[in-house]
A and B are shown apart, each in its own frame.
Chain A
Amino acid sequence: MVAAPKDTSFSQEANKLDTPALIKDLIGTAVITFLILTPIVAYETIMNQGTLLIESRWGWVFLFTAITVVGRLLLHLFVWQRAPSPKTASAAPSKGESAAGASFRKNFNTILFVFALLLPFILYFIPGWDKRGIDFAITILIYIMLAWGLNIVVGLAGLLDLGYVAFYAVGAYAYALLTTVYLPHWFGEGVVPWAFYIVLPIAGALAALWGVILGFPVLRLRGDYLAIVTLAFGEIIRLVLINWFWFTNGPQGINVPKITFFGLPFNASDEGFAAFFGIAHDRIYSYFYLYYVILALALLTFIATNRLRRLPIGRAWEALREDEIACRSLGINTTNTKLTAFAIGAMFGGFAGSFFAARQGFVSPESFVFIESALILAIVVLGGLGSQIGIVFAAIAIIGAFEVFREMGFLSYILPEGVEPVQFRMLAVGLAMVLMMRWRPRGFVTRRDPTVFLKEKKSVSADLVSQGHG
């Protein structure tokens, strides 16, 4: 629920409870919540054979209002009551880190990597979770990869791109169109089983090209304007995909061949994967294979980004994020810097899109709506702009939460009929974005290791950098 704003004059009074102010504040909260909820929650419009009927749900309004007021009262009594907590002190990097903690931190990436390698085998032995679990892990990895790609543009170069899904779409449609129409036409049908491996680099290159094409006109724009224009570009690409019927088959989408194991399709036929290796056919093999392909692609993104950060171009990205004018006065070519960020970010989006198409076996403009861009951005934001490991956890948290929402059958007892917990997932994402910006703008993982250092690695404190990430 949208909580009413905090009355600052009240919260500043540390220890004493000012009853009249409290009551005033609570009445204000009640009125605001009531007004916010009244028309939209109190009356439900129901379509009944072509006519709209109104059904009142005042009970919910009063219930939510009561919950908000009680919640705020509790906050006043127990949270805002206390003296200012020593929160500012904790922002500084902790000096004395234990040896065990340090070694864990050092090896954390390795541990995570080994876990990711073994995950399908672990899931394989959990009954009922083998296929579904691996499939779910693949979905998460796609989002991790997309978020890592977007992280280059948003987290490193500081260019807010709201149309990132366009590059994902370019990759997916490049795979779909090349595989179904152009490759068979140019080289004959024999090439189709190999299509994924041929198309993957092409899709990446096309997406990167589009990154440059879309990036070039917006070079002069900053911040908000850039965000809106990239959003417009993303929508333009989607609308063209819908309306350019003879080329993209419009809203019906395109059926495309699924991924093969180097030319061996995952099916029960004689030329299939199982028959070639002389084992019984099982769909689980294709899940295993897909998992390792996307893991490899994601790792490629991770390693490439980490390497790039150490190169002059990567340092230029981060400098650009902090201060564009200073960058320019120091002789950094901001045009090239921005364009490479767009192109490389887009390229990884293109790879992911190509993989997505090969996995689903179907592409349509439905998959590339704005909300998808917002979701990827939310993962980057929650992970902490610029933190790659943070993004992994944010992706697991958000995409995992979607699955949890779907599983929460018990909630259907308290919710009204027809309302399912899964419907609340985007609402939760939106709220998380707002709350993160308010309380933890540096994301889940606040620690940043500098990419370049003189003698020893020192963590960069939050208050030393203007954009909140170091």
Chain B
Amino acid sequence: MEYFLQQLINGLTLGSIYGLIAIGYTMVYGIIGMINFAHGDVFMIGSVVSFILVLSLGLTGGSGPFLIILSLALVVVIAMLIASVYNWTIERVAYKPLRGSFRLAPLISAIGMSIVLQEFVRIAQEGRPKPIQAIVTGKYELLERVNDQGQFIVTISNMQILIIVCTVALMAAFTTIINRTSLGRAQRACEQDQKMASLLGIDVDRTISITFIMGACLAAFAGLMFFMYYNVTDFFVGFLAGIKAFTAAVLGGIGSIPGAMLGGMVIGLVEVFWSAYFSVEYKDVAAFTILAMVLIFMPQGLLGKPEVEKV
């Protein structure tokens, strides 16, 4: 039971990260109907950029809590800015000219872009994984079990609290933007009918660009959290995390933002429980299998609308 509880906490933390990335996939898919294959790599860019920033600020676990929070806030803002610029440029260079091209064109272009980003970072920053000392340290003991097998303590670390709290806060802010502001209204309108939206005076191109920027902000935040949670990052983290986040988006119902978050949680929990109770080696296989299963048997996802095929 205690073991289960511990895995639940770990799973929710991981799920938060996947959920944040998944929102980027789901929003872009909702608005232009394509998979932004390079989104996982935007997450990677966010991760690497914040890694470099943390390192150049000289932040260590020994710094005072106030200093850490202040610096991290700065790092988040800069990483979001940089990731936004990346995603905006990707959209303008690789996707926008291809609207109206044949069906596979944007996807092939996206795969190319994904390779470009990975290789760019690999060349500029070497390929080896980059470890760093933990910055946010400390943990709380929740439960303790002592029996003949030994002692087992359920803990929640400050980092896990930070990730979960920040994710909830970001989600709240994000949902408000989508549901309450004119920007969110424009986005929802473009999602439903781009031509009609543009007739009503919505700048569709601008809305699409903003969608990419918002996705990038969440991905950059997830990138920072990811590398602070695992204390390591490299140029390749975006590939696996990207596929898993995409799985989360599909599982939750592509186009649905609460669905993406829910899907992220499910994928995170499945991955953690699979590692804990079955085998660590096959945890990625488990995630991929879920992806295939969901797409085959439940393509509309948990919270999505069924897609109607029109001629």
Contact = CB atoms under 8 A, between A and B. Distances in A.
B185 to A, nearest CB: 26
17 contacts: A35-B85, A38-B82, A39-B53, A40-B48, A44-B124, A54-B52, A223-B103, A229-B296, A232-B289, A235-B284, A371-B115, A377-B111, A385-B104, A426-B119, A433-B109, A437-B94, A438-B94
A36 B49 CA distance: 10
Interface in A415-437: 419, 423-424, 426-427, 429-434, 437
A223 B34 CA distance: 9
Given A40-B120, A47-B130, A427-B116, 19 more contacts: A2-B89, A2-B116, A5-B92, A38-B82, A39-B78, A43-B56, A45-B51, A45-B130, A221-B295, A232-B289, A233-B292, A239-B281, A239-B282, A243-B282, A381-B108, A423-B119, A424-B119, A424-B123, A438-B98
B299 A225 contact: yes
What are the 7 closest A-B residue pairs judged by CB atoms, nearest first?
Answer: A433-B112, A430-B115, A5-B92, A430-B116, A427-B119, A232-B288, A437-B109
Contact of A231 (B89, B121, B243): B243
Given A39-B49, A39-B53, A40-B120, A32 B85 contact: yes
B187 interface: no
A213 to B, nearest CB: 12
A438 B125 contact: no
A43 to B, nearest CB: 5
A40 B125 contact: yes
Interface string B75-118: 00010011001100100111011100111111111011111101
A35 B279 CA distance: 42
Interface residues of B, number: 68
A427 B119 CA distance: 5
Contacts of B282: 239, 243
A437 B299 contact: no
A433 B115 contact: yes
A378 interface: yes
B285 interface: yes
B180 interface: no
A468 interface: yes
A228 interface: yes
Given A35-B82, A434-B94, A467-B102, A40 B111 contact: no
A380 to B, nearest CB: 9
B148 interface: no
Chain A contact residues (Cβ within 8 angstroms of B): what range? 35 or more
B172 interface: no
B229 interface: no
B111 A433 contact: yes
Contacts of B227: none
B291 interface: yes
Contacts of B94: 434, 437-438
B55 interface: yes
Contact of B125 (A45, A220, A374, A433): A45
A462 to B, nearest CB: 10
A236 interface: yes
A217 B292 contact: yes
Given A225-B295, A233-B292, A437-B98, A243 B121 contact: no
A434 B92 CA distance: 12
A368 B40 CA distance: 21
B173 interface: no
Given A40-B121, A438-B109, A235 B288 contact: yes
B116 A434 contact: yes
Contact of A427 (B93, B120, B299): B120
Interface in A425-458: 426-427, 429-434, 437-438, 441
A370 interface: yes
B295 A35 contact: no
A90 interface: no
B302 interface: no
Interface of A: 2-5, 32, 35-36, 38-41, 43-47, 52, 54, 154, 158, 160, 162, 217-218, 220-221, 223-225, 227-229, 231-233, 235-236, 239-240, 242-243, 325, 370-371, 374, 377-378, 381, 385, 419, 423-424, 426-427, 429-434, 437-438, 441, 466-468
Interface in B112-140: 112-116, 118-126, 128, 130-132
A52 B118 CA distance: 21
Given A228-B243, A228-B246, A233-B292, A239 B285 contact: yes
Nearest to B291: A232
A228 B35 contact: yes
A35 to B, nearest CB: 5
A236 B296 contact: no
Contacts of B123: 419, 423-424, 427
A32 B248 CA distance: 31
B146 interface: no
Contact of B112 (A45, A232, A378): A378
Contacts of B106: 437
A437 B86 contact: no
B311 interface: yes
Given A45-B125, A54-B55, A232 B243 contact: yes
B141 interface: no
B18 interface: no
Contacts of A419: 123
B85 A52 contact: no
B221 interface: no
B45 interface: yes
A438 B243 CA distance: 25
Given A2-B89, A54-B56, A466-B102, A434 B292 contact: no
Contacts of A232: 243, 288-289, 291-292
Nearest to A239: B285
B107 A224 contact: yes
Interface in B182-221: none
B115 A438 contact: no
A381 B299 CA distance: 28
A32 B209 CA distance: 15
Nearest to B122: A423
Contacts of A217: 292, 296
A36 B86 contact: yes
Contacts of B109: 433-434, 437-438
A362 to B, nearest CB: 23
